[in-house]
Structure 1
Amino acid sequence: MNSSKSLSDSLFFEQKMTIRQIVADYLKRFYFVLIAFSIVVLAALLWAFSEVAYSTEITSSDEAQQGIPVNVIELKPVKSFTRKRNYTGKVTAARTSELAFERSGKLIKISVDEGDHVEVGMPLANLSTRHLDVMRLKLQAERAAAQAKLEEFLAGPRRQEIEVAEAEVRQLKAKHKNLDADHIRNQKLLKRNAISKSVFEASESDLQQQKAQLDAAISRLSELKEGTRKEQIAAQKAVVANLDASLADNQVDLDDTVLTAPFSGRISKRYADEGTVISPDMPLFKIVEDQKLEARIGVPVEMAKSLEHGMQKQVQLNGKSYESTLKAILPELDPVTRTQEVVLSLNAKAAQHLVPGQVIRIEIEEPVEMQGFWLPLSALARGERGLWSAYAVINGEADSELILEKRKIEILHTEGDRVLVRGTLKTGDQIVINGTHKLASNQRVVIKSVR
C-alpha cells in the first residue's frame, strides 16, 4: 500500500516539472526570435541612413557646382499706394435724455424700473393732483356763472320787464301832468299875491324832480327795448374766455403730472422713489435709445476732408464687422486729441449686438504718394549695423553663371506680409524672396521660379 502511494506521488511531481520545462523552453525561443528581428531592423535602418547620407553628399556637391535653386521676384516701380489706417471711438446711443417733471409735486406712482424697455408716449411716473383737481372745480363753477350771465345778455330783457317799465313811465307822466297844472295855478296865484313866493318855489321844485324821474324812466324803457349793449356782451365774452384759458392752463398742469417717454428706448437709471417731493430741476429717469446706435470716432483733420456724408463704412468690434453710414462730421476740433469727430449711424444688426460705451474701430484707406518697390517680408535679410538688405541675382564672370549680390535697402512702409522699400535697387532687378538666411554674397544660384 505504501509502495503504490509513493509511486503515484513520484508520477505527479514528475508530470508537474515537465510542464514548467516546456513553458521555459517556449520563452527562450521567443526571446531568440525577438533578438534576431531587432538585429535585422537595426541593420536595415543603418543601411537606409547610409544611403541618405550618401545621396545628400552627392546633392550638396551638385548644388555647389551648379548653384542653389532660388525663387525670385522681378521689381516693378511703385509711385503711390493706399495705406489703411485704424481709428478708434466709442458706441453711443442716438438719443439719451434725463427725464424730469415740468412742475413740482409729490411722486405717488412709478410705472417702470431700470432696464425696462419703454415705447414713445408710455407713462413712466405720476405726481399728486389733489390741489389741481380742487382748482379745476373752482374754475369750472366760475366759468358756468360767467356763461350764464353772457347768455342772459344775449337773450335781452324779458317782455314783463318792458311792461313794468312802460307802466312806470305812464305813472310818472300822470304825476308830472298834475304837478305841472298845480305849478301853473300857483304861478297865477303868485301874480295876485294870493300865495307866498316860497310856496311857488316849492311847487316848481317838485315839478322839476318829477320831470327828472320821468326822463330816467323813459331812458330805462328805451334801453330795455333796444336790448343789452354790445360792449357789455363783449366784456362778458372776455370773462368767459379768460376762465376757459385758466381751465386750459389747469389741464396743462394736470398733464404735466404724468411723465411720459419722449422716444422708445430703455431706462438706464432711476433717481427717486414714491413719496419723494420732486422739483422741476430734479431728473427722475435716464432713458437711452438703444435700438438706434451711433459710432463717434476721432480722425485727423486731413482724413476727415476725404469723407463725405452718406458714405458706407464698415466698423469692427471683437473681430466682427458692422455696416454704418456717415451721418455727420462735427465742425469743431477736440482740444485733447486734436482730432475731428465723425458720427456714423450703425445698422439694426449692430444695435442687436453692441452696447453704448463699447470701443469700436474703423479702417480708412489713405492715398500716399511715395516711390519704391514692393517686396515680401521673407525677402529681407539682416544687414550691417541693424540695417536691412536683400539679395539680387546678377550675372557672374562665367557664361550662364548667376551669383548673389547684397543690396542695402530702406523700409518705407509695412503692409501685411509685404514691405515698400527703396535703396540700391532698380526696375527689373531679380530679388530672392525666401531662404535668405542660407545665402551669402557671390554665392552661385539657379533661378527656380520668377514672380
Structure 2
Amino acid sequence: MQQNETVYNPPGCIVVLATLLVGLLLAGCDQSPQSQSLPPVPEVATVTVQPQKIMLTTELPGRTSPFRIAEVRPQVSGLILKRLFKEGSDVEAGELLYQIDPAPFEAALEQARAALEAARKNADQARAALAAGIANVTRQKATLALARLNRERFEEAYKDRAVSATQRDRAVTEAQVAEATLRAYEAQVESNRKAISAAEASIAQAEAAVRSARINLGYTRITAPISGRIGKSNVTEGAIVTAYQPMPLATIQQLDPIYVDVPQSTTELLRLKRRLEKGALRHNGAEQKKVWLIMEDGTLYPLQGTLEFRDVSVDPTTGSVILRMVFPNPKSVLLPRMFVRAIIREGVKKDAILVPQQAVNRTPKGLPYVLVVGKEGKVERRMLKLGRAIGDKWLVSAGLAPGDQVIVEGMQRVRPGMPVKVVPFNENKTWRGPEAGPDGRPHKRTDGGA
C-alpha cells in the first residue's frame, strides 16, 4: 500500500526572510542625509523687567470695636414700670429707655420743698428779731444817755447839799442799770445776726435737698447717653433695680463710624522705620494714612478708612503694638468683634522690580531662581533674593536688572544654555491678585481666597 507523505523544508523559509531583510536595508541606504530635519527651536514667553513705582502695603489681621459704647445703669433704686425701646433698634441720645416708679421720689421732692419753705420762714423770723433788737439798742442808748446826765446833775446837787444821798445813789444806779441793759440788747442783736446766718445756711441746705430730690426724680427716667444701636434688655417691667448696680440694664454701641484694632509686631515696625530712614521707602503725604479692609469672606470693604494712631505701649505677651483705624459704617456692615484684615500703607518704592510668581522656580534646597533669555538668545539661570508677594507677582530684592527677559511660559521645555525663540507673554490669561495699584488701593478679589 502506497502512502503520501508531506515533507517540511525550513531552509526555504529562511531564504525568503533573508531576502526581505536585505531589501529593507538597501532601501534605507538609498535615502539622502539632507532629507532628515533638525529639531525646532522651542518657544518661550517672556516679560521684560522694568523698574516701576509701587505703593507697598501690609496686610494685618484685627477685629472691629464700637466707636463708643455705653452700659445703661440706673442711678436710683426703684421699680421698673416701663421699657420704652425695641431691642436691637437704633436709639438717639436722650431717648427714654426705662421708667422707674417716680412716686417715692415725688414725695421726697415735696418734703424737701416744705423743708425749704420752713427754713425761709425761720430766716424771716430771725431777721425780724434782729430788727427789733437793733431798735431796742437804739432806744437803750438814749435811755443810757439820759441816765448819765441825771447822775451828773445829782452828783453836783449833792455837793451843794441840794439833794439827799439817797437821790444821788438812785441816779447812779439808774445809769448803771441802763449801761447793763444796753450791753444785753447788743448781745441779743449779735445773737440775732448769728440766728440769721444759721437760717440762711438752713435755706441753702434745704435748697440743695430740693435740687437733689429733683435730680433723683429725673433719674427715674433712664435715657440713652449716646446714639447708637441698643442690644437686649436684661430686665423687664416689674424688676427691682438698685443704683449703680453691676449688671447693666442694656448696652448701646455706636457703629458708625467704627474702630478697627490690629496688632503690628515691633520687629516689623522697626524694619519699616529703618527703610524709611535709609530712603528705601518714602511717605506718600496725607495719602499715607488711608487704609482698606478685607472682610471675612475675602471681599474688599468698599469704604476707605483712616489710620488714627499707633499705641505707645508694647504688649509683652505678643511683642506688638496696636494700630487703631476708623472706618465709616453707614450700613452697619461691620459689626463689633468681627474679624477683618487691614491693608496699611508702608510707603512708596520708586524702583521696584516685579516678576510673575509663575516664573519663579525653586532649587532642591528651596532657593528661588528664574530662567532668563541672555544676549545670545540662550537660556540662563538667575538666582534671586525675593521680598514679598504683591498680588500674583514677587517683589525682587536682588538678582535681576532692568531689561532682563524673564521666561514665564515654556520653562518645562528648556534648560540653561539652550537657544530659544522669544514670544510676548499675555498677562491677561492669568488672574491678578489684590496688588496695590498706582494709588495704593488694592484690587478687589474675585476668587474669595485669603
Q: Fold-level match, TM-score > 0.5?
A: yes
Q: Which amino acid aligns with 2:101?
A: S
Do 2:79 and 2:240's aligned partners in 1 also have CA atoms closer than 8 Å?
Answer: yes
Shift of 1:214: 8.2
Shift of 1:358: 1.3
Match of 1:435 in 2: 410
Do 1:75 and 1:374's aligned partners in 2 also have CA atoms closer than 8 Å?
Answer: yes
Verify: 1:327 aligned to 2:308, yes or no.
yes
Do 2:77 and 2:240's aligned partners in 1 also have CA atoms closer than 8 Å?
Answer: no
Summarize the alignment of residues 44-443 of structure 1 with structure 2, pairs less than 5 Å apart.
64=38, 67-75=41-49, 83-154=56-127, 230-273=193-236, 274-282=238-246, 283-301=248-266, 302-303=268-269, 311-317=289-295, 318=297, 319-321=299-301, 322-349=303-330, 351-366=331-346, 374-380=354-360, 389-394=369-374, 402=377, 404-407=378-381, 409-410=383-384, 412-413=386-387, 414-420=389-395, 429-443=404-418
Distance 1:245 1:127, change over 3 A: same
Distance 2:397 2:115 in 1: 94
Distance 1:218 1:94 in 2: 74
Distance 1:258 1:430, change over 3 A: closer
Alpha-carbon displacement from aligned partner over 1:317-361 (angstroms, at most 9, x marks no partner): 241332112223222223443221111111244x53221121121
Do 1:113 and 1:270's aligned partners in 2 also have CA atoms closer than 8 Å?
Answer: no
Shift of 1:85: 2.2
Alpha-carbon displacement from aligned partner over 1:194-244 (angstroms, at most 9, x marks no partner): xxxxxx9xxxx99999999988888999999x9995444433323222221
Aligned to 1:363, the other structure's residue is in SS state strand
State the TM-score, normalizing by the size of structure 1: 0.61
Shift of 1:443: 3.6
Aligned to 1:269, the other structure's residue is in SS state coil
Do 2:374 and 2:380's aligned partners in 1 also have CA atoms closer than 8 Å?
Answer: no
Which segment is superposed worse, 316-325 or 302-311?
Answer: 302-311
Alpha-carbon displacement from aligned partner over 1:259-280 (angstroms, at most 9, x marks no partner): 2211111222322222324242
Shift of 1:258: 2.5
Q: Say which structure is richer in helix.
A: 1
Do 1:381 and 1:436's aligned partners in 2 also have CA atoms closer than 8 Å?
Answer: no
Q: Which amino acid aligns with 1:125?
A: Y
Shift of 1:87: 0.4
- Percent pairwise identity: 20
Shift of 1:86: 0.8
Structure number with greater Rg is 1
State the TM-score, normalizing by the size of structure 2: 0.61
In structure 2, list runs of 5 or more residues that go unmatched: 1-34, 148-164, 274-282, 427-450
Q: Which amino acid aligns with 1:375?
A: V
Match of 2:13 in 1: none
Do 1:409 and 1:421's aligned partners in 2 also have CA atoms closer than 8 Å?
Answer: no
Distance 2:36 2:58 in 1: 49
Alpha-carbon displacement from aligned partner over 1:278-313 (angstroms, at most 9, x marks no partner): 242332221111233111111223439769999222
Aligned to 2:58, the other structure's residue is in SS state strand
Match of 2:162 in 1: none
Distance 2:310 2:119 in 1: 59
Do 2:60 and 2:262's aligned partners in 1 also have CA atoms closer than 8 Å?
Answer: yes
Do 2:355 and 2:396's aligned partners in 1 also have CA atoms closer than 8 Å?
Answer: yes
